[in-house]
């Protein structure tokens, strides 16, 4: 196991980061590559942050398990594989296997720190001045790290209503708690309509749990293009998710480990074994010492930064979810690397910064979603009547052999503007959309036009070719 430092090794560091997640790791290692003295302070007993431990990575592993279950249960007969028994997912055995892989990643993070010269300090970091970080170790002992530059990259945490707001809310778990579940819940109510709610509800439903999704509106993913919303919501219902629309949870009754009853403002009573809150996240800015030294927050509690990740205090910066923009792991990584380039990479990188426009993202729903750029509504608000839409709805070739009720929908949509038909938005849902999106995100970032898409020879037979043959 690489060393964990319990005291400073120098009078002053070039760079100290509070937070050892993806952003903190990327920024610290980039700084160390320039020969700088770097320390990372992480409060959790493992590195990697949300993404590695209770986010992207274990979530995608669970998605793969759910996807495989769907294929075994519903697709093999269409492809004339005989004698395959009905699949039964063993959650209790799978969890420790998944956790072992995550622990392996934790070790890789720590090994990378050691190899590249980044000090890993285990403890709670707190700003004690604009140039110092106080570290409180798990045993309560404290020490101080002095630094020329300090970056806050502590991330966020799931939001759960208080019991005052929703009586019994604390009987539920959050997305972090999902990964602590030792057994698969037979019945579950997921509260929320965002991508975390959609992904976890999809996993649970596909693995055989009776799944309820309580949403405030008529559709899931309300910040996404309306075509995505209108395609995924009915498909989730068709595939077995019980969606309770225009509903708010008013109370939860029962005892943990026993039957819980969810009451909605529509008079419904939903009996489940697990209640999972997925109503949003908030920044972990409490007790960081920000207010005392003048680091300003917005009304939501996010750290205010400029385009170069500077906070309102000189030589203190913030990257990742804690600054409230584009809450995605690759964004934190990219911003962190560019910040270190600018601070330590010399004249070549003097103005390096992350461009937050046209950042692609995917949703690991069933089927998957990929999106980049403006939604149709955003484009029409910005560009008016110069917006034109190209759209195609179809079934992927894979589903040609599958029974009708299990044929997943695919919809591809381009949003273009102006006489040159510059592509300002790509929104796709259907099998493989998560993989298809990465390449088309490059095209949008480069300012591609519809003609550029048309001039690209299709790869056949694929779903992706639809984006270069739309008419």
Mean pLDDT of all residues in 366-374: 98
pTM of the model: 0.96
Q: Which of 194, 196, 240 is nearest to 219 (CA)?
A: 194
pLDDT tens digits, one per residue of 404-448: 999 999 999 999 999 999 999 999 999 999 999 999 999 999 999
Query: Before 367, cis peptide (omega within 30)?
Result: yes
pLDDT in tens, 120-130: 999 999 999 99
Given this model, what pLDDT does residue 1 score? 67
Q: In percent, how much of the chain has pLDDT > 70?
A: 100
In tens, the pLDDT along 136-170 reads 999 999 999 999 999 999 999 999 999 999 999 99
What percent of the chain clears pLDDT 90, i.e. is strictly above it?
99
- Per DSSP, 270 falls in state E
Dump pLDDT digits (tens) for 10-47: 999 999 999 999 999 999 999 999 999 999 999 999 99
pLDDT of 330 > 80? The answer is yes
Q: What is the pLDDT of residues 54-100, one digit of tens each?
A: 999 999 999 999 999 999 999 999 999 999 999 999 999 999 999 99
460 among known catalytic residues: yes
Residues whose CB is less than 8 angstroms from the CB of residue 416 and which lie 6 or more positions away in sequence, other chains included: 387, 388, 389, 390, 422, 423, 424, 449, 450
Lookup: tokens for 95? 């969890």
Instruction: Check pLDDT > 70 for residue 291.
Output: yes
Spell out the SS3 assignment of 177-219. HHCCCCCCCCEEEEECCCHHHHHHHHHHHHCCCEEEEECCCCC
Could you give the CA distance from residue 470 to residue 454 in angstroms, rounded to a whole number?
Answer: 8
List, in sequence order, every residue forming a beta bridge with 428; answer none if it has no partner.
370, 412
Which pLDDT band holds residue 2 (cuts at 50, 70, 90)? confident
Return the SS3 of 18: strand
Reported residue count of the chain is: 471
- State the CB neighbour count (10 A cutoff) for residue 205: 23
């Amino acid at each position: 196991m690489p060393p964990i430092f319990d005291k400073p090794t120098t009078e002053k560091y070039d760079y100290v980061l509070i937070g050892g997640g993806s952003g903190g790791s990327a920024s610290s290692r980039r700084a160390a590559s320039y020969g700088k003295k770097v320390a990372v302070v992480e409060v959790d007993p493992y590195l990697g942050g949300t993404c590695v431990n209770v986010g992207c990575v274990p979530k995608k592993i669970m998605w793969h398990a759910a996807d495989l279950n769907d294929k075994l249960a519903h697709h093999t007969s269409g492809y004339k594989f005989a004698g395959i028994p009905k699949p039964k997912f063993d959650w209790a055995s799978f969890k420790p296997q998944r956790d072992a892989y995550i622990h392996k990643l934790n070790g890789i993070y720590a090994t990378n720190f050691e190899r590249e010269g980044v000090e890993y300090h285990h403890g709670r970091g707190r700003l004690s001045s604009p140039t110092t970080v106080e570290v409180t170790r798990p045993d309560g002992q404290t020490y101080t790290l002095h630094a020329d530059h300090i970056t806050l990259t502590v991330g966020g945490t799931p939001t759960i209503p208080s019991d005052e707001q929703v009586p019994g809310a604390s009987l539920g778990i959050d997305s972090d708690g999902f990964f602590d579940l030792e057994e698969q819940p037979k019945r579950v109510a997921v509260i929320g309509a965002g991508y975390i709610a959609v992904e976890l509800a999809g996993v649970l439903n596909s693995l055989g749990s009776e799944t309820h999704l309580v949403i405030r509106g008529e559709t899931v993913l309300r910040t996404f293009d309306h075509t995505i919303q209108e395609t995924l919501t009915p498909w989730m219902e068709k595939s077995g998710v019980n969606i309770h629309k225009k509903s708010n949870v008013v109370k939860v009754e029962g005892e943990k480990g026993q039957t819980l009853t969810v009451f909605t403002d529509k008079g419904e009573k939903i009996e489940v074994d697990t209640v999972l809150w997925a109503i949003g996240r908030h920044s972990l800015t409490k007790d960081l010492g920000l207010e005392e030294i003048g680091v300003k927050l917005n009304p939501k509690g996010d750290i205010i930064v400029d385009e170069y990740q500077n906070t309102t205090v000189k030589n203190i910066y913030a990257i990742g979810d804690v600054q409230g923009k584009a809450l995605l792991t690759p964004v934190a990584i990219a911003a962190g690397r560019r910040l270190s380039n600018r601070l330590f990479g010399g004249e070549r990188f003097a103005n390096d910064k992350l461009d937050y426009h046209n950042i692609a993202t995917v949703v690991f729903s069933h089927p998957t979603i990929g999106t980049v750029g403006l939604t149709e509504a955003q484009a029409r608000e910005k560009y008016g009547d110069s917006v034109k839409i190209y759209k195609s709805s179809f079934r992927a070739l894979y589903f040609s052999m599958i029974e009708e009720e299990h044929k997943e929908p695919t919809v591809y949509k381009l949003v273009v503007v102006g006489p040159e038909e510059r592509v300002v938005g790509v929104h796709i849902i259907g099998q493989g959309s998560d993989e298809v999106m990465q390449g088309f995100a490059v095209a949008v970032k480069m300012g591609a036009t519809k003609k550029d898409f048309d001039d690209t020879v299709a790869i056949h037979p694929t779903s992706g070719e639809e984006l270069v043959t739309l008419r």
